[in-house]
Amino acid sequence: MKYTDLQDKSLAELEALLKEKRLEIFTLRVKLKTMQLTNTAELRAAKKDVARVQTAITAAKQK
């Protein structure tokens, strides 16, 4: 996911995406603790996606 893809989304869409990504992080953490996660880089990528979405939400609120 790139920031440029998030710029044209509405605030409601961004907040829904943020909720979805946070749920994804939760499931990845559970998989990590139960030794079911084979690619640990997915967790880092999900965290970065959350940060991008939060940045887009902040930018949308300032407009």
Q: Are 14 and 6 in contact (CB under 8 A)?
A: yes
Domain range for 50: 3-62
Q: Each residue of 13-22: pLDDT tens digit?
A: 999 999 999 9
Q: Are 57 and 49 in contact (CB under 8 A)?
A: no
Question: What pLDDT shows up at residue 1?
Answer: 84
User: Who's near 38: CB < 8 A, 6+ residues apart?
Assistant: none
Q: Each residue of 6-48: pLDDT tens digit?
A: 999 999 999 999 999 999 999 999 999 999 999 999 999 999 9
Give me the half-sphere count of Cα atoms (radius 13 Å) on the Cβ side of residue 9: 21
Alpha carbon of residue 12 to chain centroid = 15
Task: Give the total number of structural domains in the chain.
Answer: 1
Query: pLDDT at residue 60 above 80?
Result: yes
CATH code, domain with 29: 1.10.287
Q: pTM (2 decimals)?
A: 0.90
What is the rounded distance in angstroms from the CA atom of residue 60 to the CA atom of residue 30? 32
Query: pLDDT at residue 63 above 80?
Result: no
Instruction: Provide the token pair at 60.
Output: 């949308």
Question: What pLDDT shows up at residue 5?
Answer: 92
